[in-house]
A = this chain, B = another copy of it.
Amino acid sequence: MRQGQISTTGHALLGLLSFAGEVSGYELKQLADRTLRFFWVSPAMSQVYSELGTLDRAGLVEAREEAANGPRPARRYRLTPAGEEELRRWLAQSDVGFPVIKHGVALRLFLGHMVSPDRMEEMLQRYTEQLEGRTAELAQIREGLGDDPAYRYAALVAEWGQRYYREEAEAVQVVLEALSRPRT
């Protein structure tokens, strides 16, 4: 029942459970891949399991054992009242750091004096393609949310993400143009 030692990712999983009702570790990971991935990090499968263990020991989630078909039990987890309380407390009190970005493309552009122009252009082009892929994924997710008020906030975040990807694509075009101009 000790707390304060739950990580942000732990709280994020708690948050997913507040939507999801009762899910297995496996399903929780899939949900994270469709949501958290876009604005946080989708934890590895193994971390989902270990985090659920921690949350369970802290009394913040509850496991229900299903008919074990195999050597290990099949568990489904749901939020406990204490878990919901902790989540609300964390949302109300934790301090919100400025976003941290690990942007490999920007890092390599910054070190452009050591990269061949061809490689640089290829990298930026590839990033543009990846952005298109992500935009498409996110558009599909946004569509799936519809205008159901239950997903109001998820929809806002998805729209924010789409905006961001669009802007990134434009910024990359600006960089490509600047690079194609001979330097003064």
Which residues does A use to contact B, with CB under 8 Å?
Answer: 8, 12, 15, 18, 35-36, 38-41, 84, 87-88, 91-92, 96-116, 119, 123, 126-127, 130, 134, 147, 149-150, 152-154, 156-157, 159-161, 163-164, 167-168, 171, 174-175, 178-179, 183-184
Output the least CB separation between A41 and chain B (Å): 6
**Does B105 lie within 8 Å of A92, measured CB to CB?**
no
Contacts of A88 in B (CB 8 A): 114-115
* Chain B residue with the shortest CB-CB distance to A184: B147
**Does B153 lie within 8 Å of A39, measured CB to CB?**
no
Contacts of A112 in B (CB 8 A): 152-153, 156
Contacts of A103 in B (CB 8 A): 39-40, 99
**Does A110 lie within 8 Å of B153, measured CB to CB?**
yes
Q: Which of these, B119, B160, B171, contacts A175 with CB under 8 Å?
A: B160
